[in-house]
Amino acid sequence: MPSQAQPHHLALDAQALREAVEAHQRYLNGRSGGRRLSLTYADLSNCTLEGLDLREADFAGANFHGATLARANLTRGILFGADIREADLRRANLTKADLRGACLRGANLAGAELPGCDLREGRIALQDKLDGFRILRHEHRPGELNYAILSGANLSGAQMTGAVAMSSDFTDANLSGAQMAGAKLTRAVLDGADLTGADLAGADLSGASMKRAVLSGANLENAILDDVDMSDVLRAPPEVTYVDERPLDQVLADHESYCDSGGARGGVTPLNGVDFRPVKTLKGRRLTALVARDGVFFGLDLQGVQLQGADLSGADFRGCDLRDADLRGAKLSGASFTRSDLRGAKLGPLTIGDNRFVRTDFTRAVLRGADLRGAHAHRARFLEADMNGANLAGCDLTDAELEV
């Protein structure tokens, strides 16, 4: 008589789960009675584990289908072969998590931290007392990311060789240095994604959208790029940028001289559409009233830069270090500050006379995932600005114009 197959996911009641999580907290805090959480092959479907500290927990083969894990800390967690379909993992921390063979079809990982995680395909075998070893099979293939939402997620250095992520949303995701050779990314959305130094050799990107993606140093050898929208992609910067046959460094030095001397020396040159990346850093530079509409500042160190009253409409400040920068009265409409660090930045009004001031204008600017902790943005305009996932803790928004 043939043996009866046994279910591979083990039911767990709410009380047992709560006690296991509490014991794990004691384990993490080095307290007596602590025990590392090990819920391998457990049925955690539709469970709520939101915001919990689950570092180093072992969930190999577990079923998280439809579970809520938003803001959970799963650093170095073992999720090998786990079923995570349609789970809510928004802003979860999965740094260096083992996600080999996990099925993430339809999961929401918007804003999640996944640097160095392993998303390659893997299979897990279970030992059955009657049938011996058998492969744990998901309803969908292991290592699948189809339809997953990874917008704004940090996947820098992630291992995704051969991953299947068709129709997945990687909008504004950080995929710098990610290993994606041979990945199936057909119809994926990679708009604004940072693919600096990523390995996409042999990847299938047919029908994908890569508008404004950063491809500096990316390896696209033998990649399938049929019908890919690559409009406005940012490629490697030139070695030197020239403006009116003068090196950009000299133009900026003249601008600083003009500012320092009150117009007696130097001069001001419009720098619209200029790529500033070759200068490497603008830290502490004095560039008051700079005109650089649609300028490219991507990834630059702009810490403490003086850009009071500057016209930087439509400029690309993605990933820039703008800590303590002075942007009072600057025109920043339509500019992109995705993942920029604006901690302590001066974004308030610029006084130009008695009872006269010019407000900083972020109208239609993109500040997704930007860090504005401790910034001074009183009276600033944020009309139609995209501030999804921005950190506004301690940011002074007194009398600021915000969308309600």
C-alpha 332, offset from chain centre: 21
pLDDT at 9 over 90: no
For residues 296 and 276, the answer to whether their CB atoms sit within 8 Å is yes
* Tally of CB atoms within 10 A around 201: 17
Four-point Cα dihedral 16, 19, 21, 27, nearest 10: -130
Q: Which residues have CB under 8 Å from 338's CB, separation 6+?
A: 152, 172, 192, 318, 319, 366, 367, 368, 369, 370
Predicted confidence (pLDDT) at residue 324 exceeds the cutoff of 70? yes
Q: Which residues, 6+ apart, have CB-to-CB distance to 216 below 8 Å?
A: 196, 197, 234, 235, 236, 237
Contacts (Cβ under 8 Å, ≥6 apart) of 19: none
Identify the DSSP state of 261: T
Question: What sign does the CA torsion over 276, 172, 49, 75 have?
Answer: negative
pLDDT of residue 218: 97
Output the six-digit token pair for 179. 């290993």
Pairing of strands 10-11, 42-43: parallel
Contacts for 404 with CB less than 8 Å, ≥ 6 apart: none
pLDDT in tens, 229-261: 999 999 999 999 999 999 999 999 999 999 999
**CA distances for 54 relative to 72, 81, 139, 153, 305, angstroms:** 7, 17, 26, 19, 40
Confidence of residue 10 (pLDDT cuts 50, 70, 90): confident
DSSP string, 62-98: -B-TT-B-TT-B-TT-B-TT-B-TT-B-TT-B-TT-B
CA 179 to mean position of chain CA atoms:
16
Report how far residue 143's alpha carbon sits from residue 120's, in angstroms, rounded to the nearest whole number. Answer: 6
Interval 176-215: pLDDT, tens: 999 999 999 999 999 999 999 999 999 999 999 999 999 9
Top-confidence residue, 140 or 401: 401
Tokens of 113: 């931290």
Query: What integer best gives the mean pLDDT of the chain?
Result: 91
pLDDT band at 13 (very low <50, low <70, confident <90, very high): confident
Region 279-307: mean pLDDT is: 97
What is d(CA 55, CA 206) in angstroms, rounded to the nearest whole number? 37
Q: Note the pLDDT of residue 133.
A: 36
Identify the pLDDT of residue 269.
95
Q: Which residue type occupies 280?
A: K
In DSSP terms, 133 is beta-bridged to 127
Give the pLDDT score at 66: 96
Residue 165: partners with Cβ closer than 8 Å, 6 or more residues away: 144, 145, 146, 148, 183, 184, 185, 188
The DSSP code sequence of 368-398 is TT-B-TT-B-TT-B-TT-B-TT-B-TT-B-T
To 5 degrees, how large is the angle CA 258–CA 292–CA 254? Answer: 20
> Cβ contacts of residue 159 below 8 Å, gap of 6+?
116, 117, 118, 119, 120, 178, 179
pLDDT cut 70: percent of the chain above it: 92
Residue 336 CB partners (closer than 8 Å, separation 6+): 192, 212, 315, 316, 317, 318, 365, 366
Which residues, in sequence order, are bridge partners of residue 346?
Answer: 326, 376
Report pLDDT for 245.
92
Specify whether the CB–CB gap between 64 and 86 falls below 8 A.
no
Task: Give how far Cα 294 sits from Cα of 273, 297, 299, 335, 371, Å.
Answer: 5, 9, 15, 8, 22
